[in-house]
Structures are given as C-alpha cells and as structure tokens.
Amino acid sequence: MNAPQCPSCKAPLAKMPQRKTKCKACGEFIFIKDTPRNRTKRLMTPTQAEAAERAWEDHQAKKMQREAAALYKQHLSRLTADLKKYASQGWRSVQVFGESARTCPVCRSLMGRVLPVTIPAEEILRPDCQSLDEGSYHCAPLASPAIKDGSGSVRFDRSI
C-alpha cells in the first residue's frame, strides 16, 4: 500500500488514520469509509465521505425494495390460491382483513371491504401498495369468506 496521504491536500500522513481525524496540513477532516461497490475502507475527503454515505443509503433502500417486491410476489400467489379455493368452495364474496399499525394508506382503504371472490388478487394486494417502496410500511392484506359487520356478527355469502 502507498504511504497514506491526506485525500484533500495530498500531504503525507505519519501513519494510516484508524478513525476520522483532522489533517494537520490543511485542517480538513479525513474520513475512513467504504462504499457498496468497493468494500475496502479508504481515506476520503468530507465530500467523498458524504457521497459514500448517500451510496450506502441508496444501497439499503434498493435492497429493501427488492425484499418487499419478493414478499409481495409471495403474498400475491398465496392470495390468488386462496381466492381460487374459496370460489371453488362456492363462496361468492370475501372480506379484506389484516390491518396493522404499519399498513399503508392504500391497503388501509381496502380493509373491511367486501369484494367478489372472482376479483383479481391484485385488487386486494395492490401493486401501488406503499410498502413496496417504503420500509416503514408492512402490508399483507388477506381475504376471508367470513364477512364481519360492525357489530361483530359474521355472515357468509355462499352460492352452493
């Protein structure tokens, strides 16, 4: 490895800094960071360090979105199978449920709705669900043929 130098003014450093330090020659802070693309910790100027932090945030956000998309696909296939099963059993309607504190506004607006069992699963697990791009939401709407009214009584809408 080359002799360490200040990334801002290129002044040689007595030793490789182990943590954030100030350059004695130019007074700039020297940061030690890596980036998602290059995991070797290296010396950075304040501007480079800021860019590295943004790159990490971006990296994390993208990772979360990929995970959310995979989860959505899983839920969608499960819900599609459920709806198909309910339809084959003769249920005509289902009610959306599964609200939690982390349910997004899109999904929240569907909670409690009674829908025909033949509806595409995407009408319940919507592609515009905000949990797909925002980690603070977590949605998993489900559908049940047991339809509850406000008073807590349950009815079933069955054709056969």
**Residues of this chain that bind Zn ion (CB under 5 A):** 6, 8-9, 11, 23, 25-26, 104, 106-107, 129, 131, 139
With respect to Zn ion, which residue has the nearer C-beta, 27 or 116? 27
With respect to Zn ion, which residue has the nearer C-beta, 35 or 131? 131
Q: How far is the CB of 111 from Zn ion (least distance, A)?
A: 10
Return the DSSP state at 93: E
Residue whose tokens read 């977590």: 138
With respect to Zn ion, which residue has the nearer C-beta, 96 or 104? 104
- Give me the count of residues in the chain: 160
Please give the structure tokens belonging to residue 1. Answer: 């490895």
By CB atoms closer than 10 A (0-12, 13-18, 19+), residue 28 is middle
Q: How far is the CB of 72 from Zn ion (least distance, A)?
A: 9
Q: How far is the CB of 104 from Zn ion (least distance, A)?
A: 3
Please give the structure tokens belonging to residue 4. Answer: 């360490």
